[in-house]
Amino acid sequence: MRLGVNIDHIATLRSQRGTPYPDPVDAVPIVELAGADGITCHIRIDRRHITERDVRLIREITKTSLNIELCTDPDIVSFVCGVKPNHACLVPEREGEQTTEGGLDILTHREEIKKTIGVLKDAGIQVTLFIEPNESIMETAKQLGADAIELNTKAYCEASDNPLDNGREIEKLKRASIAAYEVGLEVHAGHSLGYHNLKGILSVPYIVELNIGHSIISRAVFTGLEEAVKRMLKLMGKNI
């Protein structure tokens, strides 16, 4: 199971004071040397955290794999195609949201998403869809041309303190993961995952990648970024 570290919240700290620091670009070599398998960042329409400058420099220095999260806005899509990350993860975006609020509605916005996937894939970029753990939509995700899906783990994480609800959410994730695997999609997972709730996700079959950001960056405030990444890798059972 791979670990992609989302470095957005380093840019969040920077934007709080409008300073040039802390620079998310500086996190890339630290994260990679700590043993992570890739870098993730999200460029939003309002550019409130990660900017074009950040993405260009991150692309230049990333030695592992770069995954860029984005919505279907044509200007953003065009920019990402020019940067050519290894992966692009399509996510919904609402003006003013604090963080991504849910998975893509790939049924309602089917044609728009299909068109965006085609543009990204024509640029040589593998495409992931961030969706809810709903087994019934995996065939649609495959038909749209996605290479992978990222299961939204928010509901599971919010149920972590309630054994009954937690078990239900794990079962949803398992069924969705199996359904995705059976139609030929690579399975990723992410959103609100942290050190305290990672264990349950490790029981979900076929997940090959976790994307984790806020909890790692938060822990890094106290332990340093390298140690925060290494601790997560150890919990995932990776030898570092």
Residues with a catalytic annotation lie at 42, 69, 191
Contact 153, 173 (CB under 8 A): yes
Q: What is the DSSP string of 104-157?
A: --TTTTHHHHHHHHHHHHHTT-EEEEEE-S-GGGHHHHHHTT-SEEEEE-HHHH
Q: What is the DSSP string of 168-200?
A: HHHHHHHHHHHHHHHTT-EEEEESS--TTTHHH
Contact 157, 196 (CB under 8 A): no
8-state DSSP, 30: H
Distance CA 42, CA 30 (A): 19
Q: Tell me the Ramachandran region of residue 13: left when phi exceeds 0, alpha when psi lies from -120 to 50, beta otherwise.
A: alpha
Distance CA 240, CA 228 (A): 13
Q: What is the DSSP string of 198-230?
A: HHHHTTSTTEEEEEE-HHHHHHHHHH-HHHHHH
